Amino acid sequence: MEALRPGDSFQPAYLDVPSRPRADFLWSSLGSIVVSQRVKDILEQSGVNDVDFYEVIMRKVGMREASFPAPVPSSGEPEDLINELPLLKNLDGVERYYEMIILKESRYPPGGTPRSICEGCGRPDVDNSTRSIIMTPEMWQGDPIFFLATTLYVIVTDPVKKLLENIRSSNVVFERM
């Protein structure tokens, strides 16, 4: 059984967005990935079982279509944007989204072995000046989707990348490590 740590969140997840969501990947907070129904479906149908999906509750959704760059709220604080825009009163027709919980991680990257583990919260203390942000073959534990240990970097294998590219998933970028 996993222990609860400071900063962990309970389900359900709520999503407040200043415009109608259309992208396949929404990056709502650090360590949290929200995906569209079609991304969830393609990963589940392909047997990717190193992630769990939980439907998010669309709490506040703006009326406008997404635009780039996003408008700046009068306060200048991005989190205030949702309070300044008109919201949809009826969420019919707004696609379902799911928080994708990644369950696996790699072995430690070079220089990233924790100096200690906090007894109170269980989080590792890593010397960022010695840790390399790289993925080597020795670090892979056979999982198709995982975090690079001690980071929030999400790593996917080439087959998962191809699945997502084949459906032309939006708002995600793949980089070689």
- Encode 22-45 in three state secondary structure: CCCEEEEECCEEEEEHHHHHHHHH
- Burial class from Cβ neighbours inside 10 Å (0-12, 13-18, 19+) for residue 127 reads exposed
Higher-confidence residue of 27 and 148: namely: 148
Give 42-62 pLDDT, tens digit per residue. Answer: 999 999 988 999 999 888 888
Q: What's the pLDDT at 12?
A: 77
Q: Enumerate the domain spans of the chain.
A: 14-166
Give 13-22 pLDDT, tens digit per residue. Answer: 888 888 888 8
Share above pLDDT 90 across residues of the chain, in percent, rounded to a whole number: 49
Q: What's the pLDDT at 4?
A: 66
Q: What's the pLDDT at 19?
A: 82
Mean pLDDT across 106-117: 92
Q: How far apart are CA 145 and CA 158, in angstroms?
A: 10
Give 142-156 pLDDT, tens digit per residue. Answer: 999 999 998 889 999
pLDDT band (50, 70, 90) for residue 163: very high
Residue whose C-alpha is closest to residue 164's, from 155, 174, 151, 150: 174
